[in-house]
Amino acid sequence: MRTLELLKIRENIYAFLARMYLEEPPKKLAEDIANKRLPLPEELSALNTDLREGFSLIKKFESEFTGSADELYEDLKEEYTRLFIGPSEDAILPYESSYVEKTFTGKAVLNAKENYRKAGIEKVEACNEPEDHVALELDFMAYLCRGMTEKLKGDEKIKRELAIQHEFLDGCLAKWVPQFCEDIIKSPNSNFYKGVAKITKGFLVFDSSMMDEISAMA
């Protein structure tokens, strides 16, 4: 597979996962699931167990749903709220600081800001979440993938950008997102998001090796 294709796959998956965690799933997703036409890159399911189980869970969720798109949209909003917002004490906080430091808006926020600054970006002003929110960290990876794609199209080297990504994945995401995903998988409030969490966990494992492959081709 060509480097540009690998980068596009990575960008799309990181962007999709970021969208799933930033706020409740969009109405279009509910419509696709209700109409049994959810587009899934199932070729990735062969890459590891978590990816396979994640895609299988989402397909099962899709096949078993029999209501309307409007009903599903409300169900997904409620699931997102129960999981990540509360008011239940069992809410799963989607912040690096809550996992790494057992606090809120701690050093992890400053580290995330510094990583974003080094890459030349600022947090989107329309987003009220702290910089260590899982969606913003995943979207940062999607942003870096887009930047590398543009450089490759201009025949520029991407070694530095790959190093930034690998450092962020291994030094940041890998330290807390797998446990965050496990908490979602174990939660009784999770139906659709069990599949999303499995895909997230499996893709992060795969992506580390994928970046090694891209480095060898770059």
Q: What is the mean pLDDT of residues 72-98?
A: 92
The closest alpha carbon to 100, from 171, 185, 197, belongs to 171
Percent of the chain exceeding pLDDT 90 equals 57
Supply the pLDDT for residue 126: 62
* Interval 87-143: pLDDT, tens: 777 899 999 999 998 777 678 999 998 889 888 887 655 678 899 999 999 999 999
Supply the pLDDT for residue 46: 85
Where residue 115 sits, what CATH number does that domain have?
1.10.3480.10
1, pLDDT greater than 60:
no
Supply the pLDDT for residue 73: 97
Burial class (CB in 10 A: 0-12, 13-18, 19+), 197: buried
Q: What is the mean pLDDT of residues 161-189?
A: 92
Burial class (CB in 10 A: 0-12, 13-18, 19+), 155: exposed
| Structural domain span for residue 108 | 3-36+48-217
Structure tokens at 98: 């809550």
Decide if 135 is inside a domain.
yes
155, pLDDT greater than 70:
no
Decide if 114 is inside a domain.
yes
Confidence band, pLDDT 50/70/90 cuts, at residue 179 = very high
202, pLDDT greater than 90:
yes
Q: What is the mean pLDDT of residues 161-176?
A: 90
Q: What is the mean pLDDT of residues 60-73?
A: 95
Decide if 43 is inside a domain.
no
Could you give the angle at the alpha carbon of 5 between the alpha carbons of 25 and 37, nearest 5°?
35
Top pLDDT among 44 and 200 is at: 200
Dist CA 47 CA 42 (whole Å)? 10
Dist CA 176 CA 204 (whole Å)? 11
Decide if 189 is inside a domain.
yes
Supply the pLDDT for residue 217: 64
Structure tokens at 140: 């940062």
189, pLDDT greater than 80:
yes
Supply the pLDDT for residue 19: 95
Decide if 69 is inside a domain.
yes
How many other β-carbons are positioned within 10 Å of the β-carbon of residue 93?
16
For the chain, what is the domain count?
1
Supply the pLDDT for residue 218: 61
Decide if 14 is inside a domain.
yes
Supply the pLDDT for residue 48: 92
* Interval 2-56: pLDDT, tens: 777 888 888 999 999 999 999 999 999 999 999 999 888 878 888 899 999 999 9
Taking a C-beta distance cutoff of 8 angstroms, is the pair 51, 44 a contact? yes
Decide if 111 is inside a domain.
yes
Q: What is the model's pTM? A: 0.91
Q: CA 119 from chain center: how many Å?
A: 19
Confidence band, pLDDT 50/70/90 cuts, at residue 178 = very high
Decide if 130 is inside a domain.
yes
